[in-house]
Amino acid sequence: MIAEQAGAAHGERLLRHYIGGEFVASDITFNDVSPVDGSLVARVCEADEASVDRAVRAARAAQRAGWADSTPAQRAEWLHRIADGIEARFEDFVAAEVADTGRPFTQARTLDVARGVTNFRTFADLVRYAHGEYFETQTADGGSFINYVTRKPLGVVGIISPWNLPLLLLTWKVAPALAMGNCVVAKPSEETPGSATLLAEVIHAAGLPPGVFNLIHGHGSNAAGEFLTRHPQIDAVTFTGESRTGSAIMKNVADGVKDISFELGGKNAAVVFADADFDAAVEGVLKSSFTNAGQVCMCSERVYVERPIFERFVAALKTKTEALRVGSPEDPSATMGPLISHGHRDKVLSYFRLAVEEGATVVTGGDVPRFDDARDEGAFVLPTIWTGLPDTARVVTEEVFGPVCHIAPFDSEDEVVARVNDSAYGLAASVWTTHLARGHRVARRIETGIVWINAWYVRDLRTPFGGSKLSGIGREGGRHSLDFYSELTNVCVRVA
Ligand code: NAD
């Protein structure tokens, strides 16, 4: 853990926790640095166990003080007010997201911050229509009963989110949790504390009752994240991040038998059949491999292309990949930013070396770009394509979470389905074909939570999102979020 004593020096921004309706600092802080050039973005407070405890107790108190008894219509109103607040400070959120991640401004505007707003509005609308169940029941002795099922809040929900889509993934959990009447303690990634702090400011300005939303900053293992998930007074944990972290959290919540929802890693496949619309498939795989420098859990790092079009596909994807422009957010022509940190770049570069050791052909990339300016201090890598590896190679089986893909040929539908499914992960897949029945058939056989046919990353927030195997537990999205963030209670009434 990189932590240093005391707050920010004059002129430096200090990002504080938001606990019980107040912004509070801690003695220990850490640096939030730009992945573009290593410059200091802000100093960030590191929550100790006592601060986490205060946040959980504030949430519990707010829960009892009335939030749990508020009506769905009232909470929907609050959620829309928060969405209005984000919109009013839209460019501040964009700037915070760009400062922490180095991504292009366009992406922060059209994807990250826009989805932050939509997450609040969607769950504000969905909660108004959340409904229970009703059954009429007769017993053998002539008794007559009605059974109805109501939703109650879980209580206090611990939310732990990652750095790759900071505001989007945080609000994806905060919005439905609040909508269902829970109070929350949220811990964003230590790499991306900026937009979460702005969210706390917006929530504060909106006048949400103190303690309903609490934000703590800090690291994960043996730090704020772990203190939160171990806390005996939280009722549920919702987590997005690495599978290994999910496993650690699962052990920590086991004693308290807490409810969990996990959205974890992936090693997603794109399958391109020879009958696919060739240009659309190349464009689709370009996006699915390199969007956000490959740092989207749904990115495809394994690409399978039917043999008759294999060589042509590799050549076309190489051309398009080499036309991507790696650069800083200030460069309007840049289409790909840096990785999130030097630590993550070291990991991705270790996979670059491993691919070569494992015998890959490097079709393009495999190195870092040279700028001859301050950006050479940044965490940039080139988008990279490999071919020639067996499915058992580590770079074909392990999640790299960078702008990489390995392309392999295949000869039959059965073969490619088996190869796609031969993975420890099961998050998402995309299938490119113009053969209607084949598309549906393959989608049914692929063992992932999401399958796109002739598309990638189209998200309707009413649909379930999540993965199987190492990719997660449970589904969020639409009524699935409403189900996770509520406790269903069956009430049985004798009527005769
Ligand atoms: P990470 O697991 O390292 O960290 C995620 C969060 O967990 C951070 O806030 C971190 O501080 C916290 N954390 C770390 N150790 C902890 C512990 N022991 N106890 C409690 N909290 C702890 O993940 P990351 O590197 O931030 O994100 C990248 C990973 O997230 C990738 O594997 C990616 O596939 C995955 N991801 C999955 C989805 C999905 O929906 N399935 C979405 C985005 C990212």
Q: What is the chain's alpha carbon radius of gyration, rounded to the nearest angstrom?
A: 24
> Which residue's alpha carbon is at the smallest distance from atom 9 of ligand 1?
189
Tokens of 30: 């850490």
Segment 92-98 long-range contacts (CB within 8 Å, at least 24 positions apart): 92/198, 93/167, 93/195, 93/198, 96/194, 96/195, 96/197, 96/198, 97/166, 97/167, 97/192, 97/194, 97/195, 98/329
pLDDT of residue 71 exceeding 50: yes
Percent of the chain with pLDDT over 90: 96
Q: What local confidence, expressed as pLDDT, does residue 398 receive?
A: 98
pLDDT of residue 441 exceeding 80: yes
Phi first, then psi: what are they for 42, rounded to 5°?
Answer: -165, 165
CA angle 169, 170, 176 (to 5 degrees): 95
Tokens of 5: 């004593």
Q: What local confidence, expressed as pLDDT, does residue 2 receive?
A: 37
Query: Rounded to whole angstroms, what are the CA distances from 48 to 53, 144, 188, 258?
Result: 9, 55, 15, 22
Q: What local confidence, expressed as pLDDT, does residue 131 receive?
A: 84
Phi first, then psi: what are they for 177, rounded to 5°?
Answer: -65, -45
Distance CA 249, CA 441 (A): 36
- Delineate the domains of the chain, giving CATH numbers in brackets: 3-264+471-492 (3.40.605.10), 268-460 (3.40.309.10)
For residue 401 and ligand 1, the question of a CB distance below 6 A is answered with yes
Per the prediction, the chain carries an average pLDDT of: 96
Give the pLDDT confidence of 372-429 residue by residue, as tens digits. 999 999 999 999 999 999 999 999 999 999 999 999 999 999 999 999 999 999 999 9
Distance CA 19, CA 52 (A): 9
Beta bridge partners of 364: 385
Band of pLDDT at residue 6, cut at 50, 70 and 90: very low
For residue 427 and ligand 1, the question of a CB distance below 6 A is answered with yes
- Report which DSSP code applies to 77: H
Tokens of 262: 């996990």
Distance CA 280, CA 28 (A): 51
Catalytic residue among 46, 97, 190, 263: 263
Distance CA 247, CA 265 (A): 11
Give the pLDDT confidence of 178-216 residue by residue, as tens digits. 999 999 999 999 999 999 999 999 999 999 999 999 999
- Report which DSSP code applies to 231: -
- Residue 30, helix vs strand vs coil: strand
What is the Å distance from ligand 1's center to 261 Cα? 13
Band of pLDDT at residue 7, cut at 50, 70 and 90: low
pLDDT of residue 62 exceeding 60: yes
Distance CA 283, CA 348 (A): 24
Q: What local confidence, expressed as pLDDT, does residue 132 receive?
A: 86
Band of pLDDT at residue 363, cut at 50, 70 and 90: very high
> Which residue's alpha carbon is at the smallest distance from atom 35 of ligand 1?
241
Which burial class, exposed, middle or buried, applies to 204 when counting CB atoms under 10 A from its CB (0-12, 13-18, 19+)?
Answer: middle
Q: What local confidence, expressed as pLDDT, does residue 11 receive?
A: 67
Select the more confidently predicted residue: 100 or 330.
100
Query: Quick count: other Cβ atoms within 10 Å of Cβ 153?
Result: 24
Contact 182, 212 (CB under 8 A): no
CA angle 253, 259, 263 (to 5 degrees): 90
Residue 192: HSE in the Cβ half-sphere, 13 Å Cα cutoff: 31
For residue 248 and ligand 1, the question of a CB distance below 6 A is answered with yes
Q: Is residue 330 annotated as part of the catalytic site, yes or no?
A: no
Distance CA 379, CA 34 (A): 9
Residues 6+ apart with CB under 8 A from 252: 226, 229, 230
Tokens of 95: 């700037």
Q: What local confidence, expressed as pLDDT, does residue 12 receive?
A: 81
Q: What local confidence, expressed as pLDDT, does residue 3 receive?
A: 41
Band of pLDDT at residue 347, cut at 50, 70 and 90: very high
In 3D, which of 297, 339, 308 has the Cα closest to residue 465?
A: 297
For residue 399 and ligand 1, the question of a CB distance below 6 A is answered with yes
CA angle 413, 419, 425 (to 5 degrees): 130
Atom of ligand 1 nearest to the CA of 246: 2
> Which residue's alpha carbon is at the smallest distance from atom 18 of ligand 1?
221
For residue 119 and ligand 1, the question of a CB distance below 6 A is answered with no
Distance CA 355, CA 364 (A): 13
